[in-house]
């Protein structure tokens, strides 16, 4: 039958001593768990090393400490949602080459994408940065534009984005909504 293991930590919590049995019978195994604080972990922490040193009052030559390592994986509980307005587009009309397009009205039907990134956990400034990569069908195999990014509005304060919108520097008719592509 399992007996509870009594552990006592030193004053600053850097070491703990656990009584495994007195006496610990021949062939016995003791299993217990230590829960360690993660308050000192940073974005640069890749692993944790814990030294395990067994001691006994009997003579045991070669009883050396063992280092147990744990890999640290930091996860941010992020979620991404997106909505396109309108939800469907129909393409038609005159197909123009890139050099013939000068104004926004010449690139086709407008669609606005609103992307929301939600973070439900610890403040990201303590765990590093989050990046969002969006891929959209930019052009057809023949090199014609399929979706042309006219403007991007990325929150308050503005967030840097690359590549920038409107690479052809077309004349825009009016200010656009969030994430216009």
Per-residue model confidence as pLDDT tens digits over 77-129: 889 999 988 888 777 677 777 788 888 877 777 888 888 888 877 665 566 67
pLDDT value of position 180:
43
pLDDT of 110: 81
CA gap 130, 68 in Å, rounded? 31
All structural domains of the chain with their residue ranges: 1-74, 76-181
Under-50 pLDDT residues of the chain = 176-181
Check: CB of residue 67 under 8 Å from CB of residue 48. Answer: no
> What pLDDT does residue 179 have?
43
The pLDDT assigned to 18 comes to 92
End-to-end CA separation in angstroms for the chain: 67
Cross-strand bridge partners of residue 51:
67
Q: What is the pLDDT of residue 16?
A: 93
Which pLDDT value is given to residue 81? 93
Q: What is the pTM of this model?
A: 0.52
CB 77 within 8 A of CB 121: yes
């Amino acid at each position: 039958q399992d007996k509870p293991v009594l552990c006592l930590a030193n004053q600053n919590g850097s070491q703990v001593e656990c009584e495994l049995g007195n006496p610990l019978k021949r062939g016995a195994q003791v299993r217990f768990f230590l829960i360690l604080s993660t308050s000192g972990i940073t974005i640069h922490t890749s692993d944790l090393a814990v030294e395990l040193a067994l001691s006994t009052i009997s003579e045991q030559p070669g009883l050396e400490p063992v280092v147990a390592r744990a890999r640290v994986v930091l996860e941010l509980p992020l979620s991404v949602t997106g909505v396109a307005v309108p939800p469907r587009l129909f393409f038609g009309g005159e197909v123009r080459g890139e050099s013939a397009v000068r104004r926004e009205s010449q690139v086709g039907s407008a669609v606005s994408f609103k992307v929301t990134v939600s973070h439900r956990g610890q403040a990201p400034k303590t765990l590093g940065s989050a990046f969002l990569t969006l891929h959209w069908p930019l052009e057809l195999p023949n090199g014609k534009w399929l979706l042309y990014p006219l403007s991007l509005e990325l929150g308050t304060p503005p967030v840097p984005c690359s590549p920038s919108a409107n690479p052809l520097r077309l004349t825009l008719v009016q200010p656009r909504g969030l994430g216009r592509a």
